[in-house]
Chains A and B, each alone.
Chain A
Amino acid sequence: MNLDARRNVILVFIFLVIGIYLFKLFYMQVIDETWTLRAQEIAEKRKEIFPPRGVIFDRNGKKIVTNQTYYNLMMVEDSIQNFDTANFAKLIGWSVQDVRNRFKEIVAGEGTYFNKITGKRTPNYQTIRAYPFLKELTLEEMSKIAPHLANFKGFYEIATSARNYPYKSAANILGYLSEVYREEIEEDRFYKPGNNIGRSGIERFYEKELRGVKGIKYIVTSALNNAIESYADGKYDTIARQAPPLKMGMDVELQTYGEQLMQKKKGCIVALDPTTGEILSMVSAPSYDPNLLVGKRNISANYPKLARDPNLPLFPRPLQAEYPPGSIFKLVQSLIAMQEGVITANTGFPCDKSLVGCHNHPSARNIAEAIQYSCNPYYYMAVRRIIQQGVKKNNFADAEYGLGKWYKYIRSFGLGGIFDTDVSGQRPGLIPSPAFYDKWYGHHTWAFSTIRSISIGQGEVKLTPLQMANIVAIIANKGWYYTPHFVRAIGKNGALPQFEKKRWTMINYRHFGPVIEGMRRVVNEAGGTGKMARLTDITVCGKTGTVQNPHGEDHSVFFAFAPINKPKIAIAVFVENAGWGGTWAAPIASLIIEKYLKGKVSDLDKEKRILEAQIAYQTNN
């Protein structure tokens, strides 16, 4: 038997095995991506580093939103050795029992997994995983604990960044952050569970501008899920970048002052820079410290309190309180009537109280006087001329035609809709169109007599304080406005493009003169309703208003702009349940105007009276 051939059998066998192995290895390593991906899944973790959010400055370069570092005290059960409960409790200022309870609480709380689909909570506690033992400690609190942590194996600190509001004001403007929802994570992969997202206000509207660019760090993790080293010496890592700062048109000092003036009262203040449309101040009273809603711990403690407060601090009054505008509407009606040519600046009407109620004053001989006296019958007659122009023979068709024209004018003031702007949570108010009344009463069944109450800003008409402040800005500008907005610049770029566009109303600038003259008289002439808004060296133009409130005392309202020749501020002040407009709203407006234009207030008695007043405000909640 020739056995030498058998050597070849063995050689072929070895070659075959080696060949197959090499083929498989070549396939696994070079061609097939599956195992590379699997290895990444197992050992190479992407760690995302979130930069601190962008800071926010006010119009004068004051930092109004910053970031503060907070600390979480983490613990990993498997790493805890020789734990001295008594000393640890002493260190963090707790009782021994509290410390023990906290351990149990972690197992039952953070250590569970909540399945949002099934709505079930299942235990998921792992002794190798890190859990926060104490959350959101300040630097001071942490600095007392940190030096002793070396004695407590298994405990360590991590820093997190949270918002800080040094002025403690403008909560309604700035908004707050809270943890992302699952739907938001699914929608935008930027977020990870536990991240914060802007929940309201500026923080929400400019979320993408403020959140910055997150960095990605690739690390090698062990089977116990601990990071051991950076992957490939950080070759693929990217650096986190903080977003450029936002510059707001708001004056934070003015905002803070406004909130002080409105303390113990309900209502709102909206102040605009008419030349740019920037919102200088937007107070929603009662206001609250925005720091109350920073971090999970604070939100869960304070949000329910704020939500339950009967004074409704969370209700954004400047944007969502829809009031019948009352007397300020007379300004708009004057302008439309003049533009339509149904009256002139010198048209007079007798104060005929049989048409509509009025207070005692001489009959208005012209527009300026009509505004000065706020004469209701005057506007009854003037607006009837707008609505019933006698163009159509049918009285109802004529009213439809007239109201249609009127509606277009009103819309050109930016009323009856919401502004395309960075102010979130606006409500549109209500400006009735012919279609509205058709739906309400039926086609050709209504005429001026049916809808007459809109002529003095009552009835169906509803406006928000922001819209009313914008009317004042339009009058100050004599016919145009910029969309009211908060942010004037994003980093080195300007504001959003829609804020740069000048919007013209359908009213010719010539018609504004008599109206402004009327407003000047309201404040500055003897017997004017707004004399409490008078300032010694600034000519304030204003208009009082009283908003009828079916639920109680009327709301006190005042609108103003100043100074008369080169207006720099347009303002609307609402004080709920404060009665007549001249008493409370007018002095508040004047204080704000003076503060803004001169930086300080001269009439300290006036200021004191306002600060001390408590109006329809429930102290005990």
Chain B
Amino acid sequence: MRKQESLTEYLDWPLFGALIAMLFMGLATVYSVAFNEAVPSIFNFSEKYGRQLFWILFALFLGLLVFLIDSDIYRKFAIPIYLATLVLLVVVLFMPAVHGAHAWLGVGSFGVQPAEFAKISTSLLLAKYISGLTVKQQTTATVLTASSILLIPMVLILLQPDAGTFVVFTSFLFVMYREGLTFDPILLKFVNTIPGVRYKETWVGSHFIPILFVLVFLSIITLLLDSVVLNLNLFGFVLELSGSSGVIFGLLLIYLISWLVMQRFSTRRERTRMMVVLTLGLLISSAISFGVDKGFGMLRAHQKDRIELFLGLREDPNGDDYNRNRAMAAVGSGGLLGKGYREASVSSLRSNHVPESETDFIFCPYAEEWGFAGVLVLFVLYLFMLFRIIVIAERQRAAFNRIYAYCVAMILFYHFAINIGMNIGFAPVIGIPLPFFSYGGSSMMSFSVMLFILLKLDAQRKDVLR
């Protein structure tokens, strides 16, 4: 193995640069939110910005340590690391609850959240396991093993309970999808028990992500239109539809249009096959829409309330919907150019209208102070980071590295999408931090370590063939 000649030679500078920019913006926002006139110095650790600066420096130091260690150990020790994390996840359940969740491990004011580090160890083990497979080897056993690697920590995290991190773990499904992992072996077992059916693949098992999209999309549309009565005026013939029948009606229209397009542009042989697919699609979608509609009707009142609040069908700005309403007011009042640095009136810690505005809701003060222009900058930065990670992923020679990189990309994206979604009414309020932005040591350390492992793997990518 080649000795490291220079730490910096193989470092991916664009990604590292984006990281530093993000850390700086995050620190600036924490400084603005938590600003205390009595202690304006950022080097004073009695204030949140002082501590955040410390966490950033400490995280970068951890990153340096990671960079000094040979990347080979991650693959070699993936299983022990994973098991150690599981132990911590079990131990943390016996710790006293903070804010109703047994999530913190530690003494006094210094604590870590094992769930944060479980993301890394799960990524490592998943990468190790999937990289050891070939597509043709996939059996029921391999699918179940891969799923278990996710499910065990997920269950432990749900016991804390920590719904946010639990949801983040579903990001690994994208990685599995990318790597061609298929649930077909399990599905086929069921499907092929039907007499006269002998499929080699179900298509559903391997394309579960696009199917998931369609499912979620259809459900949301159905729920949104649930209480609406649509009036369709077709050449003087007025058609009154309930919301869910409207969705089915819309699906039928799409079906007819596709059918007309197909008549025009496809050959006879293809047509038959695609007609079957289209018809099946229509039937299944309609069934889903119908099912969601009926299922929603059977929910309990408080469950309905939750869903209606989330979808914005009901308003309760001072009660159940307090957090989101205040957060949206803060973000929405930012305007095009914002209110100016340290001028956030709704979301500063002093005004305290938006709870947790230095941690989970840190996007609020940022958007309020910098407006849409600032939001655009932040989005571009995040997008750049994600794309850079995917670029890094795709240039890896070792499957382990690639899979790990995808894990990092998807975790970061999930955090980004859910956290900002919370601020604009697109996601339910589940407390997860905005990576590299939110105040807090645990998330800062775990995200940095996660990213530096990737940077290290990338730096050593050429070693694989030597």
Hey, which bits of chain A sit against chain B, CB under 8 A?
1, 3, 6-7, 9-11, 13-14, 17-18, 20-22, 24-26, 28-30, 32, 34-36, 38-40, 42-44, 220-224, 228-229, 231-232
Interface-facing stretch out of B119-127, B287-295, B416-424, B444-452: B416-424
Name the residue of chain A whose CB is nearest to the CB of B333: A39
Q: Which 5 A-B pairs have the closest CB atoms?
A: A35-B332, A39-B333, A38-B329, A28-B332, A220-B345
Of the candidates B333, B343, B367, which one forms a contact with A38 in the assembled complex, judged by CB atoms under 8 Å apart? B333
Chain A neighbourhood of B317, CB < 8 A: 38
Residues on the A chain within 8 Å of B328, using CB: 28, 35, 38
Contact indicator A21/B424 (Cβ below 8 Å): yes
Bound-complex Cα distance A25 to B178 (A): 30
Task: Tell me if B350 is interfacial: C-beta within 8 Å of chain A.
Answer: yes
Supply 5 further A-B pairs (C-beta < 8 A) apart from A13-B174, A25-B331, A25-B375: A17-B417, A30-B336, A38-B325, A222-B350, A222-B353
A14 and B426 in contact (CB under 8 A), knowing A6-B178, A28-B331, A30-B335?
Answer: no
Bound complex: CA A35 to CA B423 (Å): 12
Decide if A9 touches B345 in the complex (CB within 8 Å): no
Are B372 and A221 interface neighbours, CB within 8 A? no
User: B367 — which chain A residues lie within 8 A by C-beta?
Assistant: 25, 29
B394 in the interface (beta carbon within 8 A): yes
Q: Can you list 12 A-B pairs, Cβ within 8 angstroms, ordered by A? A: A3-B179, A10-B178, A21-B426, A24-B426, A25-B331, A25-B367, A34-B332, A35-B332, A36-B332, A38-B329, A38-B333, A39-B332
Residue of A nearest to B374 (CB): A29
CB-defined contacts of A43 to chain B, threshold 8 Å = 329, 345-346, 351, 353
Does A42 contact B390, Cβ atoms closer than 8 Å?
Answer: no
In the complex, A25 Cα to B350 Cα: how many Å? 25
A contact patch SS? helix
Q: Mark B279-321, 1 if CB is under 8 A from A, else 0.
A: 0000000000000000000000000000000000000010000
Q: What is the distance, in angstroms, from A595's C-beta to the closest C-beta of chain B?
A: 62
Contact residue among A21, A38, A229 (Cβ-Cβ distance under 8 Å from B379): A21
CB-defined contacts of A39 to chain B, threshold 8 Å: 329-330, 332-333, 345-346, 368
Question: Does B413 lie within 8 Å of A14, measured CB to CB?
Answer: yes
Q: Is there an interface contact between B372 and A30, defined as CB atoms closer than 8 Å? A: yes
- Note all chain A residues with C-beta closer than 8 A to B135: 1
Tell me, rounded to whole Å, the shortest Cβ–Cβ distance linking B158 to chain A. Answer: 24
- Which residue in chain A gives the minimum CB-CB distance to B328? A35
Contact yes or no, B371 A29, CB < 8 A: yes
Distance, CA A39 to CA B178, complexed state (A): 43
Establish whether residues A38 and B177, one from each chain, have CB atoms under 8 Å apart when the complex forms: no
- Give the Cβ gap from B416 to chain A, nearest Cβ, in Å: 9
Assess whether B275 is interfacial by the CB under 8 Å rule: no
| Contact, CB under 8 Å: A7 / B333 | no
Minimum CB–CB distance from B331 to chain A (whole Å) comes to 6
Contact of B372 among A11, A17, A29 (CB under 8 A): A29
Nearest neighbor of B175 in chain A, beta-carbon distance: A10
Bound Cα distance A29, B376 (Å): 12
Query: Which of B334, B345, B352, B425 has a CB less than 8 Å from the CB of A29?
Result: B334
Interface membership of B100, Cβ < 8 A: no
- Complex interface bits, B386-426 against A, C-beta within 8 A gives 1, otherwise 0: 10001000100000000000000010010001001100111
Contact across chains for A35 and B345 when beta carbons are under 8 A apart: no
* A29 with B390, Cβ < 8 A, contacts A1-B180, A43-B345, A221-B351 known: no
Q: Does B106 contact A (CB under 8 A)?
A: no
Nearest-Cβ distance from residue A549 to partner chain B, whole angstroms: 67
Q: Which of A9, A14, A22, A220 contacts B351 (CB 8 A)?
A: A220
Residues of A within 8 A of B206 (CB): 1
A89 CB to closest chain B CB (Å) equals 35
Partner of A24, one of B368, B413, B424: B424
Binary A-proximity of B327-370 (CB < 8 A = 1, otherwise 0): 01111111110011001011010111100000000000001100
Whether B353 pairs with A223 at a CB distance below 8 angstroms is yes
Residue of B nearest to A29 (CB): B372
Bound-state CA distance A36–B383 (Å) is: 28
Chain B neighbourhood of A222, CB < 8 A: 350-353
Residue B196 interfacial (CB < 8 Å):
no
Query: When chains A and B are docked, how far (Å) is the Cα of A6 from the Cα of B383?
Result: 18
Residues B352 and A25 in contact, CB atoms below 8 Å apart = no
Expressed in whole angstroms, the minimum distance between the Cβ of B67 and any Cβ of chain A is: 27
